[in-house]
Chain A
Amino acid sequence: MPLIIKDEYPEKLFREDGKRLDGRDIGELRPIKMEVGVIKNADGSAYLEWGNNKIFAAVYGPREVHPHHLAKPDRGVLRVFYRMATYSVFDRKRPAPGRREKEISMIVADCLEPVLFLELYPGTSFEVFIEVLDADGGTRCASTTVAALALADAGVPMKSLVSAIAVGKIDGKIVVDLSGVEDKAGEADLPCAITWYNEEISLLQFDGNMDLDEMNEFMDLATKSLKKIHQIQLDALKSKYITLKEEETKEIEEGVKEGEK
């Protein structure tokens, strides 16, 4: 007899002191940690912790397209494989890719394609593997963010990075970065991504109820948060090289001290 637990959501998504259930303000993000170069055998890789989300991304390419009939003679193809671990959600996630995985793979690929120069690599493919180890709302946005980071780490020429975030409405208030509970129990949910080259919107999905004025407010709020996420991405990429530099300067200083002695 399987254990059946009903999905129960709290009636109120705001605490009495006006903060959200996890103690955040309306425009506050969950804590984000990014790292690049975590998978040794991949051409480029990145790891992201965004609240309770834990996501790995690995990039391989340019390499031969397999199956071969997917290859295009005039341009390369970007293939994204979004997968969730069986233990990433509360119920066991069946490991076979379903409708949802295919959709997210497609939107991440479409979202990243405008920043790449695929026409320079005809007949080849870039493959991005996204593995969600732990999921708690907003994995499609987090996946887009981490996939862009892994592509940059692989040395693929890009016009710019891509950042993504979900904005939503819970209990009549507009908030950024919805967590799992807020996503399910809230009224509206709007994931959006931006390519920083020319600041164009690369992804916009919508689910729920809201009017046009609210939509504008959503976008203003999203832009502010996206800038913060972009800064974290920059720091993550640069820190890989800057930390190395610092270690060396320390070594040199120590060497000088030894020499003096």
Chain B
Amino acid sequence: MEEEEKTETEDFEDFEDDESTRDIVIPGEVLTEDIKNYLPGRGTIYNKDKTKIVSLNIGLKQITKNYINVIPLRGFYTPRPGDKVIALIVDKNPVKYKCDINAKDFGTLKPKNTIKKGKIKGFRGSGYSQEQANTEKFEIGDILVVKILSADRLNKPELTTVGKYLGKKNGGIVISIDPPKIPRVIGRNGSMIKMLKSLTNCNIFVTQNGRIWLKGDDIVHERLLIESIKKIASEAHTVGLTDRMEEFIIKQKKKRGII
């Protein structure tokens, strides 16, 4: 398959392998009383008198420069414009598809967003696409990789299938994990995902809404990969995970007789 998840650098900053930042904090816990030197960052808030900074989430405390952040360990996916996510078509009518994207609202995919716009190269004259904008392209139950065009608190997110790596997925397995643990599956600069790909010979497509599409040569490799991803998700808050996972997979491969 041709897909390769091109991962954004922004996500890797979430989980930095620094021993000193690995404190587990819970909502309401005081992170610091030194408000002169620190500012509240993501997942934190001042108390009413502005004398303390407290955590809002259950997560890991992290200090970057003079900001105190809390990286959540549990939570739900909030769609943001530009995210590539795996969607499942749950309903369709002549006007739109309704897609489950693991968020609080269903996403809407309009037929005009499923066909390419503009001139087709190599034609003279009226070289516009002849494709009709209707909802016969996909069926209920199809798995799509979509990009989010618009998303806010009030309206339903709008999706598109036009773009690189986007469109219908044929074959493979889709598994879901907790969305906040996705950066850990990718690893720093994609180290974890590269390791998983090379060791299990599988194609992996990781998306921000907690769903992972994978397809390998045979079911044995796929099973090993699924087990590894579940293990990563359950140990997301620990240090030195990539090395430990590499060891785990090599050990399991010997055990299962697949080398």
* A, B: real partners: yes
Q: B: which residues have CB within 8 A of A?
A: 24, 26-29, 43, 45, 47-48, 54, 56-58, 72-76, 104-105, 153-154, 180, 234-235, 237-238, 244, 247
Q: Contacts A155-B180, A198-B48 hold; do A238 and B153 have CB atoms under 8 A apart?
A: no
A123, B152: Cα distance in complex, Å: 12
Q: Contacts A124-B104, A197-B47 hold; do A155 and B72 have CB atoms under 8 A apart?
A: yes
Q: What is the interface of chain A mostly: helix, strand, loop, or mixed?
A: mixed
Contacts of A154 in B (CB 8 A): 74
A237, B24: Cα distance in complex, Å: 10
A117 nearest CB neighbor, chain B only: B56
Q: A102: CB under 8 A from chain B?
A: no
B60 nearest CB neighbor, chain A only: A241
Contacts of A196 in B (CB 8 A): 28
Cross-chain contact of A241 among B43, B153, B237, B244 (Cβ < 8 A): B237
Cross-chain contact of A160 among B28, B58, B75, B104 (Cβ < 8 A): B28
Q: A245: CB under 8 A from chain B?
A: yes
Contacts of B180 in A (CB 8 A): 155
Contacts of A123 in B (CB 8 A): 154
Is the CB–CB distance between B244 and A252 below 8 Å? yes
A121, B77: Cα distance in complex, Å: 12
B179 to chain A, nearest CB (A): 9
Q: A12: CB under 8 A from chain B?
A: no
A59, B73: Cα distance in complex, Å: 16
B144 to chain A, nearest CB (A): 22
Q: A85: CB under 8 A from chain B?
A: no
B151 to chain A, nearest CB (A): 13
Contacts of A120 in B (CB 8 A): 153
Is the CB–CB distance between A121 and B104 below 8 Å? yes
Q: A: which residues have CB within 8 A of B?
A: 43-44, 61-64, 73, 115, 117, 120-124, 152-155, 157-161, 196-198, 234, 237-238, 241-242, 244-245, 248, 252, 255
Q: Which of A115, A241, A242 has the most CB of B within 10 A?
A: A241
Is the CB–CB distance between A153 and B48 below 8 Å? no
Contacts of B74 in A (CB 8 A): 44, 153-155
Q: Contacts A43-B76, A120-B153 hold; do A238 and B26 have CB atoms under 8 A apart?
A: yes
Is the CB–CB distance between A155 and B58 below 8 Å? yes
Is the CB–CB distance between B76 and A62 below 8 Å? yes
Contacts of A234 in B (CB 8 A): 26, 29
Contacts of A122 in B (CB 8 A): 153-154
Contacts of B247 in A (CB 8 A): 255
Contacts of A161 in B (CB 8 A): 26-28
Contacts of A198 in B (CB 8 A): 47-48
Is the CB–CB distance between B28 and A158 below 8 Å? yes
A153, B28: Cα distance in complex, Å: 13
A115, B154: Cα distance in complex, Å: 22
A122, B105: Cα distance in complex, Å: 11
A63, B77: Cα distance in complex, Å: 12
Q: Contacts A238-B24, A238-B26 hold; do A158 and B56 have CB atoms under 8 A apart?
A: yes
Q: Which of B43, B47, B58, B244 has the most CB of A within 10 A?
A: B58
Contacts of B154 in A (CB 8 A): 73, 122-123
Is the CB–CB distance between B28 and A157 below 8 Å? no
Contacts of B58 in A (CB 8 A): 152-153, 155, 237
A73, B153: Cα distance in complex, Å: 10
Contacts of B47 in A (CB 8 A): 197-198
Contacts of B48 in A (CB 8 A): 197-198
